[in-house]
Chains A and B, each alone.
Chain A
Amino acid sequence: MNSSTPQTLLEAEGISKSFGVTKALQNVDLNVRAGSVHAVMGHNGAGKSTLMNLLSGAYPPDSGRFLIQGKPIRFNSPRDALDQGITMVHQELSIVPDLDVGENIFLGREPMAAFNFLRRREVYERSQQLLKEFGLDISARTRCSELSVGSRQMVEIARAVSRESKILILDEPTSALTTREQQRLFEFIGHLKARGIGILYVSHRMGEVRELADTVTVLRDGRRVATAPARELNQAALVEMMLGHAVTETAASAVTPQGQVGFEVVGLSSKRSDLHDIIFSARQGEILGLAGMLGSGRTELFESLFGVRTFERGIIRVQGREIRPSSPLDAMAAGIALVPEDRRTQGIFSGIPIWKNAALASIHDVFHAALGFVRESNARRSAEQAVERFRIATPSVNKEIQFLSGGNQQKVILARWMMRRPRVLLLDDPTAGIDVGAKGEIHAFIHALAQEGVTIVLSSSEFAELLDVCHRILVIRDGHIVREVDPSSATEALLVHMTTGSETTPAVTQPKETGASQFPSGWNPYPFEWETYPVADDPDEAMKWWLARVADTSVPDDHPSVVLTEAEITLLRAMRPKVGHAWYDLSIPAIEGWNRFWQKGVSGWAGEALVYDHASKPDQLLLGTEAQINQGLLVAGVLSFDWIRFGESMKRLHTARIATTGVATPASAYYPPTCTCMTDNVSEYRKLALPTAVFLRSKGYSRVNAVWLVEAHPSWFSVSRQMGFKEGLDDPKVKDICKISIVSIKPVLDAGDAKAAAAAALKQHPNIHLIIMLAHQYAGAAAAVRDAGRKDVWVVASDLDQGTTTSLLHGAWPVLITYSLPIAASAYADANVMGKILLGKRVPLIVLSKGTVTTSENVKDAYVHDWDGEALPWH
């Protein structure tokens, strides 16, 4: 043995094994070196499991031999293999659930005292020591049934190592793990390698094999096709080796189909299934992805849509027709089909032939004959056609389904639903545990169906698959649709972050570069380290921090966080703004100290600084709010500290007869980076009327009376909001969903004003269900609703910046509908701060935002709805 190469622990030479006439393995060689990971790949039936079973001593090979550290060895039982230092880790199966961790670790080699008694203390002390060595913070006295699957697996591996195992066989170890657990496992494997343990890693997941393995052996039809260092193999080569031929990828057509809406879900909620206000719609021919971890509500949603579970609220429409499925039969009658998550227990009926399995969902109608008889020959013929169409590998439709491979079984399930010609096909992780070949075929089939106009909703535990196959992807977490993602710009890592709600979103540390970015290059909207602010974690702390910061007079007026940098000033000056519109605040005396900073900051770049504060009586500048809304607003050269977007936005502003000159300061200067709230207000708010209507409709209202509270000051972006929203409400498409009639318009100054106005309105118009208050003062409006005890009244709010947040902290409120604006940073900041702070207050918050924008990782009870230009999904 060459001493410079790592020691070979295990060798298999010329291993063959047959079962009856099936040659499971033919002349397979393999060797595993100390401290390395050797991956064995191959699709189902390639002989992976047989090889692993031989190695773990389940049965002996027909010919060939195993050598351990150069010595030939023969196993007659798993015990022999164990004794030789080979341990197979079967997805947590070898853990005895009713025993505790320590008992499990020492089971089979218990330290003994007299009378068959155990040395219990020794068991626990040594186990705890072992767990600690592996960095597992688990008590040795924890009952294993209380551990997560991932933890059980780690305990299992730790146990194997404590048994002096030199070789670990990991058989599809990640299949039952969450992403976080997978990452822990990978770390753990690194740990094992460092200990000089040889690992045989069986998997059909390319990504993880390439990440982990040092060497890869590919098996096909019981033969070894290749063994090569992992870094020399690319994915295509691997797939080709596994299949024996190249696969042609069937990527989703880049263009989202523009057909009719085929499937709509509006405000579906169920306490029991833990689903909250699910809203989405998909067109005919669209493949909509649903990305979520186990337990995210993904399966519950599918089952609710299919009538397996009941839900309390919500509307489901299939091609425009409203249905309320209370059983799968109802859903099937409406044209919905579901391929369930667990093929083995929910999909196939084992012991029953293929053709019956395929016909089962149709015997009550399609194949129904008189007197409860079944048109057997028709069913059989359909099954035969399906076998051909789906290329199901079987000699006959009479074969019992359990004898097929997983992929072929799944194809039979697909065939079962295709016989019903569904309009909507729900696929819950249809390719789980299926080999690459069959997977490709199923994908191709999904595409073909989509082309025929079927609406497809697909979930997958492999996000790469969703990114490949889907036109759009919804992210579901904790029973909420939290985001919508464009597969062309998203990555697997991003989906993982979103679905797990990881602490940090890539968008925070490195704003995603997309075409939608409105910031000039080099412009950092967040000059601060997010982490250094207590903003998020504890609302009370955040509040204290802010107030202390404001009260801190020792911060000089020209503090670098207040005054712009030279570069920024140059940029601003180049835009030649005529007037700097500095911030003022009417409602929050706590932060009045802020104004001096703004004056200083603005005068650095604007020709003229116009600074309002709460003493400047802006009501005297009032131009007549109602008139502004109805006639549009002409303001020349008005600017705020806000960011006005370039390009398209500017053009639209001009069309809206609003003259602009440009530009912004970092709103985050001095104050924690919370929000820079700017937009082309008119067109944005025009669009935002729609989700309000959808929300109200989901609550069961098709007509609603509303009171409109208008912020009474002449800033263009306040008034343009009103303009846009009004236009939106007047849109026939919106009216069609919910007609919102304004019964009264009242100008308000501060939150107290808004509260009084709202309270009066609630008295005067007891039949209103909506108060529109598109600025911070909504806190007052909401307080009035709360005080009136009106749970059937909602407040439409907007303009959620740091000031708003502070004001929100002063009171509790009912439901807020709030709009986040489609700039990645601002939407994120909005939602994040609001979510984190409001979360502590348990405010049901609905955030409507452009889909491609990162929003809060913490907004509970949030809708995130897509807005893509004028193309509305509710045609």
Chain B
Amino acid sequence: MSEARTVPVALIAGKRRLLEGLEWRLLFLVVAMAGVTVFFGSLNRYYLTWAHFRDMGRQASLLVVAALGANLIIVAGEIDLSVGAVVGMVSVAVPTLFDLDLPMPVVVFLALVIGAAAGAANGMITLRLMVPSFLATLGSMAIIRGIALFISNQPRQVSDDAFGAVFNDAIAGIPEVLLYSVGLMAVVALFWKYSRFSLRVRAVGSSQQGANFAGLPARRIKFVVFVLAGIFSAAGALLLLGQSLTGLAVAAEGLELNAIAAVILGGGRLGGGKGSVVGTFLGALLLTMVFSGIAGMGLTAAWQLLTKGMILVVVIVFMRE
């Protein structure tokens, strides 16, 4: 019988890297954020003020949370285009629920349930009816926007004081919504690094076949991912409401694209298997800073949109894995 022999490492074609690619990327994102600050700060003094940073933090919270959901979905090898629509729907649903005189915790819970339901619907269409998620969520995006408009085609005000206290306030000068999104990011990051669930999501996204062979319930995992993404979108809607206390059916239009761009900036791979929570977070911050800078440049709406769109395309093309 042959004894176990050791193969020279050279045969195994493994290349060791000093630093994982992802870490370089994080460094790049931080440097880019500094660069963006300097650039826009030199154009506009207001950009460097505390008030503006607080404002950007408030704005970023929605994108951060939406992008965390998108990261999950993308790592699982799927895509969700209904993010903005879900945010819009929940943002009008919440004021409506408050109008029914429901207490704040119940409303928040129901908001998350609505998001979960939307995610579940996306999951069902994708996984049961075997429609590629791109098409499934393209469809659901329209349907959900329709439902949102059906709930209310007017801006709806949240009148509840408790909600305002929990979402619209600031702690030590830092907007609560930003704290929530950072907190959520931290929890997700922790979970992402150490949980079995994240390992399985990466496995399913990287190789469906490999996951099957390992006996993983691939469809169930993906379904959970869709539901979670819906919940993240709903959470995003709550943060959006926290910023303005106003719900709008057409809110957060195009958010899905920004979220996907943030994921890609953070090192996510369209096609699945790869993604970073911290990277996504930084990506979302960077995008918010850039957009805010563009908005402060005094450009017309057309130019703003054009510039934003171009930046998104450039990000997706050049920063993808």
Contacts and interface: CB of A to CB of B under 8 A. Distances in A.
Are these two chains actual partners, yes or no? yes
Interface of A: 78-79, 82-83, 88, 90, 93-99, 103-104, 107-110, 112, 115-118, 120, 132-139, 142, 146-148, 151, 180, 184, 187, 190-191, 194
A103 B199 contact: yes
A99 B4 contact: no
Interface string B190-225: 010011110110110111011111111000000000
Given A96-B203, A136-B7, A148-B12, 15 more contacts: A88-B213, A90-B209, A94-B213, A94-B214, A99-B199, A104-B214, A117-B195, A118-B194, A135-B7, A137-B7, A137-B8, A142-B12, A147-B12, A151-B14, A190-B1
B202 A99 contact: yes
A120 B202 CA distance: 15
Contacts of B100: none
Interface residues of B, number: 36
A187 B7 CA distance: 12
Contacts of B14: 138-139, 142, 146-147, 151
Contacts of A98: 202-203, 205-207, 273-274
Contacts of A180: 11
Nearest to B275: A98
13 contacts: A96-B203, A97-B210, A97-B273, A99-B203, A107-B214, A110-B196, A116-B197, A117-B196, A138-B14, A147-B12, A148-B11, A148-B12, A187-B5
Contact of A107 (B7, B11, B199, B274): B199
A190 B2 contact: yes
B45 interface: no
A194 B4 CA distance: 12
B6 interface: yes
Given A98-B202, A107-B200, A134 B215 contact: no
Contact of B207 (A96, A109, A118, A120): A96
Contacts of A136: 7, 12
A146 B196 contact: no
A133 B199 contact: no
Contacts of B210: 93-97, 104, 107
A191 B3 CA distance: 8
A93 B195 CA distance: 24
B12 A151 contact: yes
A118 B213 contact: no
A94 B215 CA distance: 10
B15 A146 contact: yes
A166 B207 CA distance: 25
B215 A108 contact: yes
Nearest to A134: B4
A661 to B, nearest CB: 51
B196 A96 contact: no
B7 A78 contact: no
Contacts of B213: 78, 88, 90, 93-94
B13 interface: yes
Contacts of A79: 215
Contacts of B214: 94, 96, 104, 107-108
B12 A107 contact: no
Given A97-B206, A148-B12, A78 B215 contact: yes
Interface string B217-248: 00000000000000000000000000000000
Contacts of B9: 137
A151 B4 CA distance: 15
Contacts of B203: 96, 98-99, 103, 107
Contacts of B8: 137
A180 B11 CA distance: 9
A370 B3 CA distance: 71
B13 A120 contact: no
A246 to B, nearest CB: 38
Interface centre among B4, B11, B213 (most CB of A within 10 A): B213
B288 to A, nearest CB: 28
A452 B15 CA distance: 50
Contacts of B12: 136-138, 142, 147-148, 151
A135 B6 contact: yes
Contacts of A104: 210, 214
Contacts of A184: 7
A118 B213 CA distance: 20
Contacts of A148: 11-13
A96 B195 contact: no
A581 B273 CA distance: 74
Contacts of A151: 11-14
Contacts of B216: 107-108
Contacts of B199: 99, 103, 107, 110, 118
Interface in B125-178: none
Given A103-B199, A134-B4, A190-B1, A117 B194 contact: yes
